[in-house]
Amino acid sequence: MAESVVTSNYALYLGDSCELLPQFPDESIHLSVYSPPFCGLYHYSSSERDLSNCRSRDEFFEHYAFIVEQIARLTMPGRLTAVHCMDVPTGGGNLFDLPGEIIRLHERFGMRFIARHAVWKEPLGVRLRTMAKGLAHKQIVEDSSLCDVAGADYLLLFRKGGTNPVPIAHPIGLLHYAGERKMPADILPFRGWTGNQIENRYSHWIWRQYASAFWDDVRIERVLPFQEAREADDEKHVHPLQLDVIERVIVLRSNPGETVLTPFMGVGSEVYGAVINGRKGIGVELKASYFKQAVMNVKGALQERDREQAPLFADAESV
C-alpha cells in the first residue's frame, strides 16, 4: 500500500486509485461519492497519472473506465455511487455533455442510472468568478445570441444490480437539514419524532428539499479549507464539493457505521462528510499537497464529532 493514515474511523491513502482500488475486497463499499477530474477542465497536478492531464477525451474515458469498473466491483449489491460533474465548456460558447458520457460509462459496468440532482449556481457569482463574457449584462445589450448560462453542477446517482442486503433505514426520520433555507418554527418540536412517522413534520420538510431534482438551497461557499493545498500549477482549480451536497447523499444513501469511498479525495471533503455523520471513510488522493490537507481536515472532523457528539452541519435549532 502507499503512504497512508489509517484509524478505526477512516483510511486515507496517498497514491493512484488505479493501483489501490484493485487491492480492496469485492463488495466491501456501501457508497461512493466523488468528482472525476475531467481532462482540460481543471488543472490539478503535472502528474501523467492524473486524469485531468489526459491528452484527449478518448484517453480520459479509457482511463476513467478502469475506475468505474473497480467501483462497480467494490460496491455492495443494490447500493449506490454518486458522481458530481458538470457540462464542460469547449470554447466558442459550446458545451460537451460530460454527464451523459458518465451515465453511459456506468451502464457499461452494470450501474443503473437512477437520479440526477442539479445544484443551482447564482449567475452573477459565476460571472465574477469566471469572468465569462457571455454572462455579462453587456452581452445581452450587444448580441444576446452569444449569451451563456450559469450552468448547474450535477449529482448523478447509480445503483448496482442485485438486492440490497441491509436496508438504509431512518426509523425516526431525518434529524439535520444541510441547506440555507430557514425551517418553519412550528415543525421544530417534531425533530426526532418517535411516534407515527406520517406525523413527523420536521423530517417531512427536510425530505421535500432533498427529494427535489433541483437543489437551489445548497450553500455554495460551504467547503473545506483548500487554499493552503494549492500549488503554482493549480491556477484553474475550483472549490471542493460543497459539504451540503455530501451530507445529503451520505445520510440518504448509507447507514451509520457503513463505509463511504472516494477515489479522488482532494482535500478530504467526502471523507470528512462521512466521519462527521458517523460513517467510516476511505479516500485515495494522488497529489501530496491535497493529501496533507485532507489529513488535517479529516482529523478535524473526528475531533469535532467527538467534542459535539453530533454532526457539525447546522440544523434549524442552531440557525
pLDDT tens, position by position, 290-314? 999 999 999 988 777 776 554 444 4
Is 319 inside a domain boundary?
no
Q: Assign residue 278 a region: left if phi > 0, alpha if psi is -120 to 50, beta otherwise? A: left
Would you tell me the crossing angle of helices 288-308 and 269-276 to the nearest 10 degrees? 10
Classify residue 317: in a domain, yes or no: no
Domain count, the chain: 1
Closest CA to 252 of 306, 193, 211, 195: 211
pLDDT at residue 104 above 90? yes
Quote the domain boundaries for residue 91: 3-312
Q: How far is CA 225 from CA 54, 130, 172, 238, in A?
A: 27, 20, 33, 12
φ/ψ of residue 304, rounded to 5: -65, -45
When pLDDT is averaged across residues 83-99 and rounded to a whole number, the result is 90
From the CB of residue 318, how many other CB atoms can be counted at a distance below 10 Å? 8
pLDDT at 275 over 80: yes
In a domain, 121, yes or no: yes
Interval 216-244 mean pLDDT? 72
Q: Residue 41 has what pLDDT?
A: 53
127: helix, coil or strand? helix
Give 317's Cβ-side CA count (13 Å radius). Answer: 12
CATH of the domain at 107: 3.40.50.150
The answer as to whether 284 is a domain residue is: yes
What is the distance between the alpha carbons of residues 276 and 293, in angstroms, rounded to a whole number? 17
Tell whether 318 is covered by a domain. Answer: no
Q: What is the pLDDT of residue 56?
A: 78
Looking at residue 45, its pLDDT comes to 54
| Span 150-202, pLDDT tens digits | 889 999 999 999 999 999 999 999 999 999 999 999 999 999 999 999 999 99
